[in-house]
Every structure is written in structure tokens, then in C-alpha cells.
Structure 1
Amino acid sequence: MFISFEGLDGCGKSTQLEMLFDYLRNLGKKVIKVREPGGTEIGEKIRSILLNKELDINERAELLLFLASRAQLVEEVIKPALRNGYFVLADRFADSSIAYQGGARNLGVETVEFLNRFATNNIFPNIVFFIDISVEVALKRINKKKKDRMEIEGRSFLEKVRDTYLKISNTKSNFVIINGERSVDEIFYDVRKVIDNYIISK
């Protein structure tokens, strides 16, 4: 099973991924975790470029770098893991590019969806947990830490990102929207319910 966690920076998706990773391991499941961009030697080198706030990266170049990292991750890690019966937990995946580059960078949702299909060889998550928080909350959380190139964009950029996530969530059956403005345990209760139901159904 392939599961991704999406949302604005500061939404708590990485924390929920770690909790789910521990939960599944305790159930005796085979599970790995990956992050985007990154997760492979090539992907981590691309990540260091993409998050470097000293660099002025063109929007199209930015998208193509994300796609290159994703393509390598799918072939090198995700596809082999799924073939071998692993749960794959991803800290961001294709929907991040739709929201950030397609929506907020104005490159077009349909354009990015088309390119995602090419980059991933049509490998997409069974479940996408969209941890939804307001832009106000995101900014408060981001401002408490050292920011990378994507996190310095500001309010209007984040509003476009969130709006795009919400729009695509209405068109995708694998999206699960979870209120991220609650306690960590309350959020994970909702995540766990979805996963437990999936496991039982299989």
C-alpha cells in the first residue's frame, strides 16, 4: 500500500507519517518511509538545490527538478517496495507539485498532472492524507523555524497552495482531508481509522 501525506509546511504531516510508521511496524507490517524531494542519492542532491534560498530557480526548472527526483524515487525505491509487499509512506508526492507548481506557481494543474503521470509511470498513492490548516496557522508555525526556499514565499503563495489542494481534493477519490488544527493524537486517531479500515477490507 502506498500512502502520502500532503499539506502546507507546518501542518504536521511529517509527525503523522512517523506515528503511522511506528504503528504499522508494531502491527508487524513491512513499512518504509520516503520524502520528497529526496529519498535517493540523486533525489537528495536535487533537494539541496531546490531548497537553497540563495538560488533563483525558474518556475519550470523548479517543477522539472521535482519531477526528476520523483521519477528516480519511484523506480529506485517505491516500485520495488510495493512489489515486495511493503507499506510505503511518503512525506509529499505528486500532489505537492500540483498544489505548489501547478497552482501557486501558475504552471497549470492539468499540465502538472500530465507530467506527473510521465514521471511516476502512473504510480500514485492509494491514500493521500491532506492535513489541512489555515494559512494563518501555517505562517505562525513556519516563522518559528529556519526557513528554506519554499517556506519564504509568504501569505499569498500559501493561500494559492491551500486553495489548489482543496480544489483537487474534490476531484480525487484517494484524498482524505484531516483537520490539522487539533492535537497530534486527535489527528492520528483519524489517520489510524482510515488505515485500519483499509487493512480490514483487504
Structure 2
Amino acid sequence: MFITFEGLDFSGKSTQAKLFVERLRKEAYPVLMERDPGGTAIGETIRRVLLDRASAGMGEVTELLLFSASRAQLVHEIIGPALRKGTVVVCDRFYDSTTAYQGSGRGLGIEGIKTINRVAAHSLVPDLTLFFDIPVEELHRRMKGQHSSADRMESSGKEFYERVRRGYLQLAEEESRFMVLDGMKPVQELHVLVWERFQALVLSMAKTGKA
């Protein structure tokens, strides 16, 4: 089973992914948590380049292809083998981030990016995608509350993030695997909703013979 956590920066998705993985381990599920970009030696090298403020001059297509290259290696080296063993794989971001950030945010277009996503992911599709939705104003409020400086991606402006959010919501309308959660809700309340949705997915997959 492959489950992805998506959202704007500072949406709380990473916190929820970690809580979910902790719960899976307590329930004795074989589980692996990864992040995209990253997760492999090659991917982590690419991640550093992507997020480095010194890469401010990076072209939009370069950015797209670097994200995709990191993902291709992650699926090839880690995610694919884990899924074949029956492990529950939880990923903090996957190709929906690329569709929303580069497709909608950078204006590179959705359909072409979806084709690149399929190639990079070796046609892998998440069983469940959890999108934690917050207003862009809340993103900037949370960003100001952190002590470290923003990375290259986080330094993008309000209009960029508005386009990204609209891109995510459009994906959620088109893809039945999406669940949209209100990222303004308390952490524990969100965790309960995530776990309930996971249990429903397990039951559904068992009935269809996919579990």
C-alpha cells in the first residue's frame, strides 16, 4: 500500500505523516517512510541543490526535471522494492507536488507534467493521497514563526502559493484517491481523521482482493 501526504509548505503534512507512521508501527504494520525529493543518496544530493538559496537562478524546466529525477531514483531504489515486499510505504510529498508546484505554480502546464510524472514514477499511483489544506495567509504566518531562514522554494511569493493551492484543489476534484483535510484543525483531530481513512482503505482493499 502506498500513501502520500501533500500540502503547501507549513501545512502540517510532515507532522501528520510522522504521527501516522508511529501509529502504523504500534499496530505492527511493516512500514517505510520516505520523502520526495530525497530518500536516496542521489535524491538527497538533488534535494540540496533544489532547496539551496544559491540556486536562485535555476530555470523552471531544470527545477521540474530535477524533482522528477530524484523521484525516479526513489521509486527505482526504495519504494518499488518495498511495495513488492508488502510494506506500507508513506511518502512526504510525491508527484502531485510537482503537478501543483511546477505545473500550476510555475505555469508549466498540467498535462505535460503528468506525462513526466508517470515516467518518473514508473507508472506507480498512490492508493491514497492526503492533502492538508491551509490558506496562503496561514502559510506565511507559520513561516514567520520559524527561526530558520526560508529555503529557495519557501521564498516564493503569495501569488505563487495561491496558484499552487488551486492546483492541488483541482487535482483533488479530479482524483478519487485524494482526501482533503482542513489543515487548520488541531493536530490530534487530524491524526484521527487520517487513521480512520486508512482503516476504510484497508477494508476496501480487502474486499476487492488488493490488500
TM-score range, shorter chain: over 0.9
Give deviations 1:124-180, integer Å, cap 9, x for gaps.
Answer: 210000000010111111222221100000211100000100011100011000011
Distance 2:76 2:96 in 1: 18
TM-score when scaled to structure 1?
Answer: 0.98
Are 1:24 and 2:44 counterparts? no
TM-score (norm 2): 0.94
Q: What is residue 46 of structure 2 aligned with on the other side?
A: 46
**Are 1:147 and 2:143 an aligned pair?**
no
Which secondary structure state, in structure 1, belongs to the residue aligned with residue 53 of structure 2?
A: coil
**1:159 matches 2:162:** yes
Distance 2:63 2:161 in 1: 17
Other-structure match for 1:186: 189
Q: What is the 5 A alignment of 1:9-88?
A: 9-55=9-55, 56-88=57-89
8 A Cα contact 1:10 1:141, kept in partner: yes
Deviation string, structure 1 residues 95-150 (Cα, Å, up to 9, x no partner): 00000000010100111101001111101210000000010111111222221100
* 2:173 aligned partner, one-letter code: N
Structure 2 letter corresponding to 1:166: L
Identity %: 45
Residues 33 and 89 in structure 1, CA contact (< 8 A), matched pair in contact too: yes
Equivalents in 2 of 1:26, 1:200: separation in Å?
A: 19
Deviation of residue 84 (structure 1)?
A: 0.5
Alignment of 1:100-115 (within 5 A): 100-115=101-116
Aligned to 2:130: 129
CA offsets per residue over residues 43-94 of structure 1, 9 Å max, x none? 0000000000111110000000000000000010000000001010000000
Q: Name the CA distance, whole Å, in 2 between partners of 1:20 and 1:133.
A: 20
SS of aligned partner of 1:65: helix
CA distance in 1 between partners of 2:157 and 2:184 (Å): 20
Question: Deviations 1:5-33 (Å, cap 9, x if unpaired)?
Answer: 00000000000000100111111100010
**How far apart are the structure 2 equivalents of 1:181 and 1:165?**
17
Unaligned segments of structure 1, at least 5 residues = none
Q: Indicate the SS of the match to 1:54.
A: helix
* Mapped partners of 1:127, 1:81: distance in 2: 17
| 2:119 counterpart residue number | 118
Unaligned runs of 5+ in 2: 207-211
SS in 2 for 1:38: coil
